[in-house]
Amino acid sequence: MTIAHERKKQPERVRRRLLDCAANLAVETGLSSLTIQAVADAADVTKGGLFHHFPSKEKLIEGVFIDLLEQLDAEIDALLADDPVAYGRFTRAYVDSAIRLMESKIPSPWGALSISMMTDPMLRRLWSDWYRARLLRHADTDSDPALEIVRYAADGIWLSDLCDLDPALRMERCALRDRLLEMTQPERDLP
């Protein structure tokens, strides 16, 4: 009897390994160079095993993107739980997460997926659906137009960092984050 017959199937672990390998390969080679065979090889599964979980490259990339959104959700939820001020709570968590993501020195598939989101309608729809659901969930605390401007500023920081804007042309990120977070406080006095 071979080991394959003795090994218990663990579909969730295989799926997790496929997502992690696809995300790592997206960082290393970019999404356009990502192949089903490379992901299957990296995850130590057959192409058929990969197709069991993800029927196409597009579904695999969608799975990676959804997985990243779930991780972002978890981070934002943790920040929300630690914030005692209701007004602007989601915006503060969003700003903090966006800037922390870009400050991280750990390579992340967010860059490849974010750039691809600009041209890929499916990824754009996933992002839009995620963002709309969060805004609706936090409408009672974060619907002020001033908070929307702060979130747009965070998106601009994220985009400029993805585009490798010369650091000499950028404000120091911690100071910028602190300024944006100040702007989310209730009854603030702005210059």
Predicted pLDDT at 100: 81
> Is the distance from CB of 101 to CB of 59 less than 8 angstroms?
no
Q: How many residues does the chain have?
A: 191
- The answer to whether residues 83 and 93 touch, using CB atoms and an 8 Å cutoff, is yes
Q: How is residue 9 annotated by DSSP? A: P
Tell me if 176 sits within 8 A of 157, measured CB to CB: yes
Whole-number Å distance between alpha carbons of 90 and 121: 26
pLDDT tens for each residue of the chain, 191 residues long: 445 544 456 888 999 999 999 988 988 888 788 899 999 999 999 999 999 999 999 999 999 999 989 988 999 999 999 999 999 999 999 999 888 877 665 666 677 777 778 888 999 999 999 999 999 999 999 999 999 999 999 988 888 777 777 777 777 888 889 999 999 998 755 55
Q: How far apart are CA 89 and CA 86, in angstroms?
A: 5
Measured distance CA(9)–CA(156) in Å, rounded: 44
CB 27 within 8 A of CB 112: yes
Residues 6+ apart with CB under 8 A from 71: none
CA–CA separation, 54 and 188 (whole Å): 49
Q: What is the per-residue pLDDT for 188?
A: 54
d(CA 95, CA 79): 11
